[in-house]
Structure 1
Amino acid sequence: MKRWIPAGLLLAVLTLLPPLLPERHLATFVLLALAATVTVGVSLLMGYAGQVSLGQASFYAIGAYAAGLLAVHGVPPLLGLLAAPVIAAVAATLLGAPLLRLRGHHLAFATLAVQLILLSLLAQADWAGGAIGLQGIPRFSIGGFELREDLGYAYAAGFVLMIAVLIARNVIESRAGRGMRAAATSETAAAASGVAIGRYRLAVFALSAAFAGLAGGVYAFYLGYLAPGSFPVLLSIEFVVMAVVGGLGTIAGPLVGATVVVLLVQVLNTLGTQPGMPGYAPAVLSYAVYAVVLIICVLYLPRGLVPAIRTASTRLTGTRRPPTHPAALPPLTQP
């Protein structure tokens, strides 16, 4: 029963908080929940599968454009939203088959190249709106019910975040999750235990892309407009920063990291738009946030905020958490 308490608390926050927020803060809540959804996939990919991706925003864009294009061409928005994570996962599977042969910074640069190529293609594709962008995306609707207010999209964003968290939790606690952790710790030992390393990594890569695609679908219906500039390379860096700040290899980490980074960026953007500040101030301050937060985490919180809080809590209470290192888990053998 205790293992469901965090999920219950998250559900309560996502349900009770939006109506309490002022109208001007609901947009921030929507973007925060969508960013956290993508970051859950990044944490799975980097923290459990041991793979580094600097192009997660490309799957965010694929999901958004898939849902938007389908809706613009008359497909019901619900079907467009359901298709977004599927299309993103299929794209990740096709791209991941060759890319996941790479390791470390080679894989990171390859995923970054994928995003740059995608942005270039979208800017040249007339069927996707080109550099001007895809316009006329209808509001999300189911039957005769249409979401028009920010409060409705706050609940929609919270719903997809809850789905991502529950799926990630189930994956982590499964045998496949133990296999991912073992492979991230030692490929040789995991392979000797019968873990299908390549298959698991590809599956996690596709799952993380599906989370990004689902969030992108909600993003498309929320804004009603998409352009290549909506998915810059900095966005992928932002997702990685959120995962690292919160704590890789945890479920709560992406939620905490997304909250900290998004709120910091919002505060500094507000500061940068004050009278007397130069026009480039918001962008410069945003870059400064990522740099400073990363430096602080690397120097003082190398495992992230959530693991640091857990360690401090353990020391204060004098209790010990059960071991979660792959070596302490049951044998990983294939049937």
Structure 2
Amino acid sequence: MGVSLLMGYAGQVSLGQAAFYAIGAYAAGLLAVHGAPPVLGLLLAPVVAAVAAVLLGAPLLRLRGHHLAFATLAVQLILLSVLASADWAGGAIGLQGIPRLVGDDLGYAYAAIVVLTLAVLVSRNVIASRPGRALRAAATSEIAAAASGVPVGRHRLAVFALSAAMAGLAGGVYAFYLGYLSPGSFPVLLSIEFVVMAVVGGLGTVAGPVVGAGVIIVLVQLLNTLGTQPGMPGYAPSVLSYAVYAIVLITCVLYLPRGLVPALRRLRIPSRAG
């Protein structure tokens, strides 16, 4: 949802969303390990991620296009290097002993639904607000928006922080679900996965990231199952996982450039007219 806001409405390309996912996860995990209530860690995870986004976004958002994409990717690579060498974060071994937020997996499913609902409601309200309209105007033409009095830089920094906060909140849920964090839990491929989910579902829509995430997760699970069948080589699951992102993204760009949700909406409109 954060990627859709950032790329679909603000027109900014980010390949480092998993960095803020990791920041939120480690913030929640470290607080809990040092005695803070898990609920407090979960509440502070998006705050820490948003603050980090403001500090990083102030210089980074001066960049545009692929320059910004590579800069955000570099942020994630630097973060992974820092976490791997930092003793306070568990180093390469990882952060262990994170307490559980709820008792069972079903409880975590409900927690994930609550977090998703919150993200959807926030996104809808932001999009419908005056700053949301200003973001769409800036994504269409930054010069025209600035000439109309829109503080483009301030709005883009705000949506960058909001996108990071959503990732941080999801990272907090992940930390308490897994109970263990390591730098290997947040590879670069994860950031690419977030982008593919948003693009496949439909950038600039509220329902698109939800649909895209469901489609990608199901496809990856099916391919992992296929890759672990008898007779398949040991590297088959990882190769198929990489392949699905490339194939799905190319197919979507060629045949569904706006994503699944806008395409489904276009199919419904003629049928209603008929």
How much has 1:279 moved relative to structure 2?
1.0
Q: Distance in 2 between matches of 1:111 and 1:217?
A: 21
Provide, for residues 2-44 of structure 1, a one-character-per-residue CA deviation record: whole Å limited to 9, x for no partner: xxxxxxxxxxxxxxxxxxxxxxxxxxxxxxxxxxxxxx00000
Q: Distance in 1 between matches of 2:152 and 2:166?
A: 21
How much has 1:206 moved relative to structure 2?
0.1
Where does 1:88-107 land on structure 2 (aligned, <5 Å)?
A: 88-107=49-68
Where does 1:185-204 land on structure 2 (aligned, <5 Å)?
A: 185-204=140-159
Q: Which aligned segments of 4 or more residues in structure 1 are displaced greater than 2 angstroms?
A: none
Where does 1:170-319 land on structure 2 (aligned, <5 Å)?
A: 170-318=125-273
Provide, for residues 54-93 of structure 1, a one-character-per-residue CA deviation record: whole Å limited to 9, x for no partner: 0000000000000000000001111110000000000000
TM-score (norm 1): 0.81
SS of 2:32's equivalent in the other structure is helix
Provide, for residues 213-261 of structure 1, a one-character-per-residue CA deviation record: whole Å limited to 9, x for no partner: 0000010000000000000000000000000000000000000000000
Q: Distance in 2 between matches of 1:188 and 1:139?
A: 49
| Aligned-pair identity (%) | 82
Q: Distance in 2 between matches of 1:306 and 1:81?
A: 31
Q: Distance in 2 between matches of 1:279 and 1:92?
A: 39
Letter in 1 for 2:36: V
How much has 1:276 moved relative to structure 2?
1.4
**Matching of residue 83 in structure 1 with residue 44 in structure 2:** yes
Q: Distance in 2 between matches of 1:195 and 1:279?
A: 54
1:122 equivalent in structure 2 = 83
Q: Unaligned 5+ residue runs, structure 2?
A: none
1:72 alignment partner, one of 15, 33, 44: 33
1:137 equivalent in structure 2 = 98
**Matching of residue 113 in structure 1 with residue 68 in structure 2:** no
Q: Distance in 1 between matches of 2:70 and 2:237?
A: 27
Q: Distance in 1 between matches of 2:184 and 2:202?
A: 29
1:55 equivalent in structure 2 = 16
TM-score (norm 2): 0.99
Q: Distance in 2 between matches of 1:62 and 1:276?
A: 40
1:19 equivalent in structure 2 = none
Provide, for residues 149-187 of structure 1, a one-character-per-residue CA deviation record: whole Å limited to 9, x for no partner: 100000001111100100010000000000000000001
Q: Distance in 2 between matches of 1:301 and 1:130?
A: 42
How much has 1:103 moved relative to structure 2?
0.1
Provide, for residues 283-321 of structure 1, a one-character-per-residue CA deviation record: whole Å limited to 9, x for no partner: 1001110011011111100000000111111122128xx
Q: Distance in 1 between matches of 2:234 and 2:184?
A: 18
Q: Distance in 1 between matches of 2:127 and 2:234?
A: 45
Q: Distance in 1 between matches of 2:53 and 2:89?
A: 20
Q: Distance in 2 between matches of 1:119 and 1:305?
A: 33
Q: How many residues align?
A: 274
How much has 1:274 moved relative to structure 2?
1.2
Provide, for residues 184-218 of structure 1, a one-character-per-residue CA deviation record: whole Å limited to 9, x for no partner: 00011111111000000000000000000000001
